[in-house]
Amino acid sequence: MIRTTEMNKVTEFQQNGFITLENIYTKEEINQILALIESVESDKPTFRKSADVFAIRQFIKELPEIKDLIFNEKLKATIKEFGGNEYFVIKSIYFDKPETSNWFVSYHQDLTISVDKKQEIKNFTSWTTKHNQSAVQPPLDILQNIFTIRIHLDKTDENNGALKVIPASHRKGFYRPENINWDEENETVCNVEQGGVMLMKPLLLHSSSRTTNNKRRRVVHIEFSDIDLPENLNWAEKELVELG
């Protein structure tokens, strides 16, 4: 979908399920973030390293010093504008897709949340446990409440793994990739400059291609919500942010 002058940014985000914003971070801020990441030992269970990807799960928990760098005034204003004053972090991941990565991800929705423990709750399904971390698919209304901010530490385009999305697919509820009707749907590539961010809804169908231009794609992925989970179930990474 094309942005129109009549459609403000928040409305565009709600309708399309994604939006890109530039100049959230300066070059100096990006360099400070990268320097801190590169100073971390990578032998913890929450770290994943291979030829195709390096990832730090529970990123803010593992690197609490990063919080002040990530949540600058522009990002806090973005959270307030697109979410609200009550939104908090529920998941954070750092991804580094190396220059020669053959890692690709086919079209999917983000259907699971990270929680503190496994327990039987109505309409919470598909439980998994990896690296002592429980994940579950919650009811639709919880997923609809979440939004994600992807902070781009490198310029990203279709040649080094920029996300491809199907606009407005988040408004169709659970949408299986094999049911995509390409006669009706359109694909958009979300190019983002270094220091920019992409906001997206987890139910938005999205994918990522292999790297073909020998350039890295480093991204900080942070998910937000403003609701608590039922029956003493808790977000695994709940992190409050002082939005001012």
Confidence category of residue 102, pLDDT binned at 50, 70, 90: low
| Cα 165 from Cα 170, distance rounded (Å) | 10
The pLDDT value given to residue 45: 56
Report the interhelical angle of 73-82 vs 9-16 (nearest 10°): 60
pLDDT in tens, 163-174: 999 999 999 999
Residue 21 lies in a domain: yes
Strand residue runs (E) in the chain: 18-21, 47-49, 54-57, 88-97, 105-108, 113-115, 125-130, 133-137, 147-152, 163-165, 188-189, 197-200, 206-208, 217-225
Confidence category of residue 44, pLDDT binned at 50, 70, 90: low
Residue 238 lies in a domain: no
CATH number at residue 129: 2.60.120.620
Residue 176 lies in a domain: yes
Residue reference for tokens 């987890």: 202
Residue 83 lies in a domain: yes
The pLDDT value given to residue 40: 78
**Mean pLDDT of the 130-140 span:** 91
Q: How far apart are the first and last CA of the chain?
A: 33
Residue 108 lies in a domain: yes
Residue 182 lies in a domain: yes
Residue 172 lies in a domain: yes
Tell me, yes or no, if the pTM score tops 0.85.
yes
Confidence category of residue 210, pLDDT binned at 50, 70, 90: confident
Residue 162 lies in a domain: yes
Residue 95 has pLDDT above 50, yes or no: yes
pLDDT in tens, 55-84: 889 999 989 999 999 999 999 999 999 999
Say how many domains are in the chain. 1
Domain interval for residue 202: 9-225
